[in-house]
Amino acid sequence: MMNAKPLLYDLFCGAGGSSHGYQLAGFRVIGVDIKSQPRYRGDDFIRMDALEFLRDYQNGHFEEAAAFAASPPCQAYSSLRRMPGTKQNHPQLIDPTRAALLLSGKPYVIENVCGSPLVNPIMLCGTMFGLGVGAGELRRHRLFESNVALKCTMKCDHRAGSRKRTVGVYGNHGGRHFTAGVWGHTGGTSHRDWTPRITADEGRAAMDIDWMTWAELTQAIPPAYTTFVGKQLMVALGRLG
């Protein structure tokens, strides 16, 4: 039925920051994750390895999708992987995920961090959407690859040279900002760039996510990002003009 919401499977969904954004864009979203997600924000949830799910999907075991989204683990590609004491043998799942999504023949989006091997991605930042908390702006760069031509004419609005407080996830980008980081545990002071950490409540407000724990928040995608991407998927599906 054309008036029914198109189904999107959100793979490696975590607690559903990405899923909620796709919902706001008009999709019915089913999340897939290998771990239980008791606070998942979406229409339904399947606990299953994402690549196994895609193999079973190809064999007709699940409802047909209109589109797919995937956020494979980013630790293998993140700049933080070089920090002392950091685990080094993280799985690199972008290539097998892309190959499986191409087999589906459906529109897809793959999200990951800067430095990941995505093909012709667009980059989104919290400053493009006015995200932040109090006097702080959210700097959280994420890349989005798709087999649909995604467009983004917005630019980061980093207030270089100002004394505006920054809410970030990866230091201060060489600026002279007071930077708060969304990683690890709350409270205290980071040894990376001498950066003070923000509270969990500040992080939730900055990312416009009110249902996650701190640990979930550090892995999350602000829903504003996937609302923006999801509306372009809707256009590609002929659901928006």
Interatomic CA distance for residues 121 and 217, integer angstroms: 23
What pLDDT, on a 0 to 100 scale, did the predictor assign at position 32? 98
pLDDT in tens, 89-117: 657 799 999 999 999 999 999 999 999 99
The total number of structural domains in the chain stands at: 1
Tokens linked to 127: 């400053």
Cα torsion angle, 10, 96, 212, 210, sign: negative
Q: Is residue 2 in a domain?
A: no
50 CB neighbour count, 10 Å cutoff: 25
Q: Is residue 89 in a domain?
A: yes
Q: Of 166, 204, 205, 169, which is closest to residue 184 (Cα–Cα)?
A: 169
Q: What is the mean pLDDT of residues 72-91?
A: 58
Q: Is residue 122 in a domain?
A: yes
CA 204 to chain centre: 14
Helix (H/G/I), strand (E/B), else coil: 139: strand
Q: Is residue 145 in a domain?
A: yes
Q: How far is CA 187 from CA 31, 155, 184, 215, 216, in A?
A: 31, 31, 10, 13, 16
Print the domain residue range for 227. Answer: 7-236
CATH number at residue 161: 3.40.50
pTM, two decimals, is 0.83
Q: Is residue 163 in a domain?
A: yes
Q: Is residue 92 in a domain?
A: yes
pLDDT in tens, 7-52: 999 999 999 999 999 999 999 999 999 999 999 999 999 999 999 9
Q: Is residue 1 in a domain?
A: no
Q: Is residue 241 in a domain?
A: no
